[in-house]
Structure 1
Protein backbone atom coordinates (compact mmCIF):
# COMPACT_ATOMS: atom_id res chain seq x y z
CA UNK A 1 0.00 0.00 0.00
CA UNK A 2 1.28 3.44 -0.91
CA UNK A 3 0.72 6.73 0.90
CA UNK A 4 -1.07 8.15 -2.16
CA UNK A 5 -3.75 5.45 -1.61
CA UNK A 6 -4.83 7.23 1.63
CA UNK A 7 -4.33 4.07 3.71
CA UNK A 8 -6.15 3.61 6.95
CA UNK A 9 -6.61 1.35 9.92
CA UNK A 10 -9.45 0.52 12.28
CA UNK A 11 -9.91 -1.25 15.59
CA UNK A 12 -13.07 -1.95 17.56
CA UNK A 13 -14.13 -3.18 20.96
CA UNK A 14 -17.39 -4.05 22.72
CA UNK A 15 -17.92 -2.15 25.96
CA UNK A 16 -20.41 -3.13 28.64
CA UNK A 17 -21.61 0.43 29.16
CA UNK A 18 -24.17 2.59 27.37
CA UNK A 19 -23.13 4.98 24.60
CA UNK A 20 -23.68 8.02 26.87
CA UNK A 21 -20.93 6.80 29.22
CA UNK A 22 -18.55 5.92 26.37
CA UNK A 23 -19.26 9.25 24.63
CA UNK A 24 -18.00 11.26 27.60
CA UNK A 25 -14.71 9.36 27.45
CA UNK A 26 -14.07 9.52 23.69
CA UNK A 27 -14.77 13.25 23.53
CA UNK A 28 -12.28 13.89 26.35
CA UNK A 29 -9.30 14.88 24.18
CA UNK A 30 -6.95 14.44 27.15
CA UNK A 31 -7.75 10.76 27.58
CA UNK A 32 -5.74 9.40 24.61
CA UNK A 33 -2.63 11.21 25.89
CA UNK A 34 -2.97 9.25 29.14
CA UNK A 35 -3.22 5.98 27.21
CA UNK A 36 -0.78 6.59 24.33
CA UNK A 37 2.97 6.30 24.01
CA UNK A 38 3.02 8.84 21.13
CA UNK A 39 0.47 11.52 21.99
CA UNK A 40 1.87 13.38 24.99
CA UNK A 41 -0.69 16.12 25.69
CA UNK A 42 -3.65 18.01 24.24
CA UNK A 43 -5.43 21.30 24.86
CA UNK A 44 -8.51 22.97 23.43
CA UNK A 45 -7.82 26.20 21.49
CA UNK A 46 -9.75 29.42 20.86
CA UNK A 47 -11.67 29.18 24.13
CA UNK A 48 -13.27 25.84 23.28
CA UNK A 49 -13.99 23.67 26.29
CA UNK A 50 -15.28 20.55 24.59
CA UNK A 51 -16.11 18.80 21.35
CA UNK A 52 -18.23 20.94 19.06
CA UNK A 53 -18.22 21.40 15.28
CA UNK A 54 -15.25 23.51 14.19
CA UNK A 55 -13.54 23.43 17.60
CA UNK A 56 -9.76 23.12 17.49
CA UNK A 57 -7.26 21.45 19.77
CA UNK A 58 -3.51 21.10 19.72
CA UNK A 59 -1.59 17.94 20.38
CA UNK A 60 2.03 17.37 21.27
CA UNK A 61 3.54 14.12 20.06
CA UNK A 62 6.74 12.16 20.51
CA UNK A 63 8.04 9.23 18.47
CA UNK A 64 11.41 7.48 18.84
CA UNK A 65 12.26 8.00 15.15
CA UNK A 66 10.38 11.19 14.27
CA UNK A 67 11.17 13.20 17.39
CA UNK A 68 8.65 15.70 18.79
CA UNK A 69 6.03 17.76 16.94
CA UNK A 70 2.83 19.73 17.38
CA UNK A 71 -0.43 19.30 15.51
CA UNK A 72 -3.69 21.21 15.45
CA UNK A 73 -6.85 19.17 15.02
CA UNK A 74 -10.22 20.45 13.82
CA UNK A 75 -13.47 18.75 14.83
CA UNK A 76 -15.01 17.83 11.46
CA UNK A 77 -17.69 15.36 12.50
CA UNK A 78 -19.88 15.34 15.56
CA UNK A 79 -23.07 13.38 16.16
CA UNK A 80 -23.66 13.05 19.91
CA UNK A 81 -23.20 9.50 21.18
CA UNK A 82 -22.49 8.29 17.59
CA UNK A 83 -19.53 10.04 15.91
CA UNK A 84 -16.55 12.20 16.84
CA UNK A 85 -13.98 12.88 14.13
CA UNK A 86 -11.15 15.35 13.68
CA UNK A 87 -8.77 16.36 10.92
CA UNK A 88 -5.13 16.73 11.98
CA UNK A 89 -3.07 19.55 10.49
CA UNK A 90 0.57 20.59 10.58
CA UNK A 91 0.35 24.20 11.86
CA UNK A 92 4.11 24.71 11.95
CA UNK A 93 4.78 23.55 8.39
CA UNK A 94 7.16 20.88 9.64
CA UNK A 95 6.31 18.55 6.75
CA UNK A 96 6.07 21.14 3.96
CA UNK A 97 2.40 20.71 3.17
CA UNK A 98 1.58 24.41 3.00
CA UNK A 99 -1.03 26.17 5.09
CA UNK A 100 -2.69 24.01 7.76
CA UNK A 101 -6.08 23.19 6.24
CA UNK A 102 -8.57 20.71 7.77
CA UNK A 103 -9.83 20.01 4.24
CA UNK A 104 -6.30 18.79 3.43
CA UNK A 105 -5.19 17.07 6.68
CA UNK A 106 -2.16 14.97 7.47
CA UNK A 107 -4.61 12.43 8.94
CA UNK A 108 -8.26 12.10 9.90
CA UNK A 109 -9.25 10.23 13.06
CA UNK A 110 -12.68 9.01 14.08
CA UNK A 111 -14.57 7.37 16.93
CA UNK A 112 -17.86 5.69 16.02
CA UNK A 113 -20.26 4.42 18.66
CA UNK A 114 -23.02 1.90 18.05
CA UNK A 115 -25.49 0.88 20.76
CA UNK A 116 -25.33 -2.86 21.35
CA UNK A 117 -27.13 -5.39 23.48
CA UNK A 118 -30.54 -5.19 25.10
CA UNK A 119 -31.79 -1.60 25.24
CA UNK A 120 -28.35 -0.25 24.32
CA UNK A 121 -26.77 -1.42 27.58
CA UNK A 122 -23.48 -1.96 25.72
CA UNK A 123 -21.61 -0.07 23.00
CA UNK A 124 -19.57 -1.18 20.02
CA UNK A 125 -16.76 1.39 19.77
CA UNK A 126 -14.66 1.77 16.63
CA UNK A 127 -11.62 4.00 16.22
CA UNK A 128 -10.13 4.60 12.80
CA UNK A 129 -7.55 6.71 11.02
CA UNK A 130 -6.98 7.65 7.40
CA UNK A 131 -3.54 8.98 6.41
CA UNK A 132 -3.12 12.06 4.21
CA UNK A 133 -3.54 13.66 1.86
CA UNK A 134 -1.16 16.31 3.28
CA UNK A 135 2.46 15.32 3.99
CA UNK A 136 3.33 14.05 7.46
CA UNK A 137 6.21 12.35 9.24
CA UNK A 138 5.74 9.21 7.17
CA UNK A 139 6.19 11.36 4.05
CA UNK A 140 9.62 12.40 5.32
CA UNK A 141 10.61 8.76 5.91
CA UNK A 142 9.38 7.75 2.45
CA UNK A 143 11.33 10.60 0.81
CA UNK A 144 14.49 9.24 2.47
CA UNK A 145 13.75 5.62 1.54
CA UNK A 146 11.37 5.58 -1.45
CA UNK A 147 12.09 1.93 -2.22
CA UNK A 148 10.66 1.00 1.21
CA UNK A 149 7.40 2.99 0.96
CA UNK A 150 5.05 0.02 1.30
CA UNK A 151 6.99 -1.33 4.27
CA UNK A 152 7.06 2.08 5.97
CA UNK A 153 3.32 2.63 5.46
CA UNK A 154 2.57 -0.85 6.82
CA UNK A 155 4.76 -0.20 9.86
CA UNK A 156 3.04 3.13 10.55
CA UNK A 157 -0.40 1.57 10.23
CA UNK A 158 0.63 -1.13 12.73
CA UNK A 159 1.78 1.61 15.12
CA UNK A 160 -1.59 3.32 14.72
CA UNK A 161 -3.42 0.03 15.33
CA UNK A 162 -1.42 -0.65 18.50
CA UNK A 163 -2.21 2.86 19.76
CA UNK A 164 -5.90 2.45 18.94
CA UNK A 165 -6.03 -0.90 20.75
CA UNK A 166 -4.48 0.70 23.85
CA UNK A 167 -6.94 3.59 23.68
CA UNK A 168 -9.97 1.34 23.17
CA UNK A 169 -8.94 -0.96 26.00
CA UNK A 170 -8.48 2.07 28.27
CA UNK A 171 -11.89 3.45 27.32
CA UNK A 172 -13.45 0.04 27.95
CA UNK A 173 -11.84 -0.24 31.38
CA UNK A 174 -12.89 3.27 32.43
CA UNK A 175 -16.42 2.96 31.01
CA UNK A 176 -17.08 -0.39 32.60
CA UNK A 177 -15.73 0.78 35.96
CA UNK A 178 -17.98 3.85 35.83
CA UNK A 179 -21.10 2.25 34.32
Structure 2
Protein backbone atom coordinates (compact mmCIF):
# COMPACT_ATOMS: atom_id res chain seq x y z
CA UNK A 1 0.00 0.00 0.00
CA UNK A 2 1.42 3.36 -1.01
CA UNK A 3 0.35 6.87 -0.02
CA UNK A 4 0.74 8.02 -3.62
CA UNK A 5 -2.23 5.75 -4.49
CA UNK A 6 -4.51 7.82 -2.21
CA UNK A 7 -6.05 4.81 -0.42
CA UNK A 8 -9.72 4.99 0.54
CA UNK A 9 -11.57 3.51 3.51
CA UNK A 10 -15.37 3.36 3.65
CA UNK A 11 -17.94 2.10 6.11
CA UNK A 12 -21.70 1.89 5.73
CA UNK A 13 -24.71 1.13 7.87
CA UNK A 14 -28.40 0.69 7.22
CA UNK A 15 -30.51 2.91 9.47
CA UNK A 16 -34.22 2.82 10.14
CA UNK A 17 -35.06 6.46 9.44
CA UNK A 18 -35.97 8.84 6.65
CA UNK A 19 -33.35 10.33 4.35
CA UNK A 20 -34.14 13.73 5.89
CA UNK A 21 -33.43 12.45 9.40
CA UNK A 22 -30.15 10.88 8.29
CA UNK A 23 -29.13 14.05 6.42
CA UNK A 24 -29.72 16.20 9.51
CA UNK A 25 -27.46 13.88 11.50
CA UNK A 26 -24.60 13.53 8.99
CA UNK A 27 -24.42 17.29 8.44
CA UNK A 28 -23.92 17.92 12.16
CA UNK A 29 -20.14 18.44 12.18
CA UNK A 30 -20.05 17.80 15.93
CA UNK A 31 -21.44 14.26 15.57
CA UNK A 32 -17.99 12.60 15.55
CA UNK A 33 -17.09 14.33 18.82
CA UNK A 34 -19.84 12.30 20.47
CA UNK A 35 -18.37 9.03 19.19
CA UNK A 36 -15.18 7.21 20.11
CA UNK A 37 -12.52 8.60 17.80
CA UNK A 38 -9.76 11.16 17.33
CA UNK A 39 -12.00 14.18 16.76
CA UNK A 40 -12.65 15.76 20.16
CA UNK A 41 -13.85 19.25 19.24
CA UNK A 42 -15.08 21.16 16.22
CA UNK A 43 -16.34 24.62 15.36
CA UNK A 44 -17.43 26.49 12.27
CA UNK A 45 -15.11 29.26 11.04
CA UNK A 46 -15.74 32.56 9.23
CA UNK A 47 -19.35 32.87 10.47
CA UNK A 48 -20.36 29.61 8.75
CA UNK A 49 -23.01 27.60 10.55
CA UNK A 50 -24.04 24.84 8.15
CA UNK A 51 -22.75 22.55 5.42
CA UNK A 52 -22.32 24.61 2.25
CA UNK A 53 -19.63 24.66 -0.42
CA UNK A 54 -16.78 26.86 0.78
CA UNK A 55 -17.76 26.71 4.48
CA UNK A 56 -14.78 26.08 6.74
CA UNK A 57 -14.50 24.41 10.12
CA UNK A 58 -11.73 23.57 12.57
CA UNK A 59 -11.30 20.09 14.01
CA UNK A 60 -9.40 19.41 17.22
CA UNK A 61 -7.95 15.92 17.38
CA UNK A 62 -6.24 13.73 19.94
CA UNK A 63 -4.44 10.40 19.57
CA UNK A 64 -2.28 8.53 22.09
CA UNK A 65 0.53 8.09 19.55
CA UNK A 66 0.29 11.34 17.57
CA UNK A 67 -0.65 13.73 20.35
CA UNK A 68 -2.98 16.69 19.75
CA UNK A 69 -3.47 18.72 16.58
CA UNK A 70 -5.96 21.02 14.89
CA UNK A 71 -6.96 20.90 11.24
CA UNK A 72 -8.90 23.23 8.99
CA UNK A 73 -11.47 21.68 6.67
CA UNK A 74 -13.34 23.16 3.72
CA UNK A 75 -16.64 21.83 2.39
CA UNK A 76 -15.94 21.07 -1.28
CA UNK A 77 -19.14 19.35 -2.48
CA UNK A 78 -22.75 19.31 -1.40
CA UNK A 79 -25.55 17.40 -3.04
CA UNK A 80 -28.31 18.49 -0.68
CA UNK A 81 -29.92 15.60 1.16
CA UNK A 82 -27.56 13.10 -0.42
CA UNK A 83 -23.81 13.78 -0.13
CA UNK A 84 -21.28 16.18 1.29
CA UNK A 85 -17.49 16.16 1.04
CA UNK A 86 -14.81 18.13 2.83
CA UNK A 87 -11.07 18.50 2.36
CA UNK A 88 -8.66 18.58 5.28
CA UNK A 89 -5.34 20.39 5.30
CA UNK A 90 -3.73 23.61 4.39
CA UNK A 91 -3.94 23.44 0.58
CA UNK A 92 -7.31 22.94 -1.11
CA UNK A 93 -5.59 21.89 -4.36
CA UNK A 94 -3.69 19.11 -2.57
CA UNK A 95 -5.50 18.30 0.67
CA UNK A 96 -4.19 16.00 3.36
CA UNK A 97 -7.40 14.00 3.05
CA UNK A 98 -10.92 14.05 1.66
CA UNK A 99 -13.83 12.88 3.77
CA UNK A 100 -17.49 12.44 2.95
CA UNK A 101 -20.90 11.30 4.09
CA UNK A 102 -23.53 9.88 1.74
CA UNK A 103 -27.18 9.06 2.37
CA UNK A 104 -28.96 6.62 0.05
CA UNK A 105 -32.63 5.71 0.38
CA UNK A 106 -33.20 1.99 0.82
CA UNK A 107 -36.30 -0.17 0.65
CA UNK A 108 -36.71 0.32 4.40
CA UNK A 109 -34.74 3.21 5.83
CA UNK A 110 -31.46 4.49 4.44
CA UNK A 111 -27.88 3.43 3.93
CA UNK A 112 -25.37 5.92 5.32
CA UNK A 113 -21.77 5.81 4.17
CA UNK A 114 -18.77 7.61 5.56
CA UNK A 115 -15.54 7.46 3.64
CA UNK A 116 -12.09 8.98 3.76
CA UNK A 117 -9.34 9.18 1.16
CA UNK A 118 -5.72 9.94 1.92
CA UNK A 119 -4.76 13.00 -0.08
CA UNK A 120 -1.66 13.99 -1.94
CA UNK A 121 -0.98 17.02 0.26
CA UNK A 122 2.05 17.58 2.45
CA UNK A 123 0.44 16.13 5.57
CA UNK A 124 2.02 15.02 8.84
CA UNK A 125 1.40 11.45 7.63
CA UNK A 126 3.59 12.14 4.59
CA UNK A 127 6.30 13.33 6.99
CA UNK A 128 6.03 10.16 9.08
CA UNK A 129 6.43 8.03 5.96
CA UNK A 130 9.37 10.10 4.72
CA UNK A 131 11.12 9.50 8.05
CA UNK A 132 10.56 5.72 7.79
CA UNK A 133 9.90 4.84 4.13
CA UNK A 134 10.45 1.15 4.75
CA UNK A 135 7.38 1.19 7.03
CA UNK A 136 5.04 3.01 4.61
CA UNK A 137 2.55 0.16 4.23
CA UNK A 138 2.39 -0.44 7.99
CA UNK A 139 1.98 3.27 8.75
CA UNK A 140 -0.86 3.61 6.23
CA UNK A 141 -2.54 0.40 7.41
CA UNK A 142 -2.38 1.67 10.98
CA UNK A 143 -3.97 5.02 10.07
CA UNK A 144 -6.63 3.26 7.99
CA UNK A 145 -7.51 1.08 10.96
CA UNK A 146 -7.88 4.20 13.15
CA UNK A 147 -10.04 5.88 10.50
CA UNK A 148 -12.22 2.78 10.10
CA UNK A 149 -12.78 2.46 13.85
CA UNK A 150 -13.70 6.14 14.05
CA UNK A 151 -16.13 5.88 11.14
CA UNK A 152 -17.78 2.81 12.60
CA UNK A 153 -18.17 4.68 15.90
CA UNK A 154 -19.69 7.63 14.02
CA UNK A 155 -22.28 5.42 12.35
CA UNK A 156 -23.04 3.75 15.68
CA UNK A 157 -23.59 7.24 17.13
CA UNK A 158 -25.99 7.98 14.26
CA UNK A 159 -27.97 4.84 15.06
CA UNK A 160 -28.01 5.71 18.76
CA UNK A 161 -29.25 9.22 18.01
CA UNK A 162 -32.26 7.69 16.26
CA UNK A 163 -33.24 5.50 19.24
Range of TM-score over shorter length:
over 0.9
**What's the CA shift string for 1:124-175, capped at 9, x where partnerless?**
0011000011122322221222111011111111111111000011112213
Give, in whole Å, the separation in 1 of the partners of 2:4 and 2:82: 29
Tell me the equivalent position of 1:114. 104
Shift of 1:34: 1.4
Secondary structure of 1:113's counterpart equals strand
Which residue number corresponds to residue 129 of structure 2?
142
Indicate the RMSD between aligned Cα atoms, in angstroms.
Answer: 1.1
Aligned to 1:101: 91
Structure 1, 134-143 or 148-157: larger mean CA deviation? 134-143
SS at match of 2:65: coil
What's the counterpart of residue 39 of structure 2?
Answer: 39
Partners in 2 of 1:2 and 1:146 — Cα distance?
Answer: 10
Structure 2 gaps of 5+ residues are: none
Distance 1:127 1:69 in 2: 22
Q: Contact 1:113–1:125 (CA<8 Å) still a contact in 2?
A: yes
How many residue pairs were aligned? 163
* C-alpha distance in 2 between matches for 1:115 and 1:37: 27
Contact 2:16 2:109 in 1 (8 A): yes
Q: Distance in 2 between matches of 1:29 and 1:36?
A: 15
Contact 2:37 2:149 in 1 (8 A): no
Question: Secondary structure of 2:158's partner?
Answer: helix
- Equivalent-residue separation in structure 2 for 1:72 and 1:116 (angstroms): 33
1:6-52 CA distance string (max 9 Å, x none):
01100000000011001111101011111133111000011011111
Q: Kindly state the Cα deviation for residue 81 of structure 1 after the two structures are TM-superposed.
A: 1.4
Alpha-carbon separation, structure 2, partners of 1:105 and 1:26: 21
Q: Equivalent residues in 2 for 1:24-173 (5 A)?
A: 24-89=24-89, 100-117=90-107, 121-173=108-160
Tell me if the contact between 1:66 and 1:137 (Cα under 8 Å) persists in the aligned partners. no
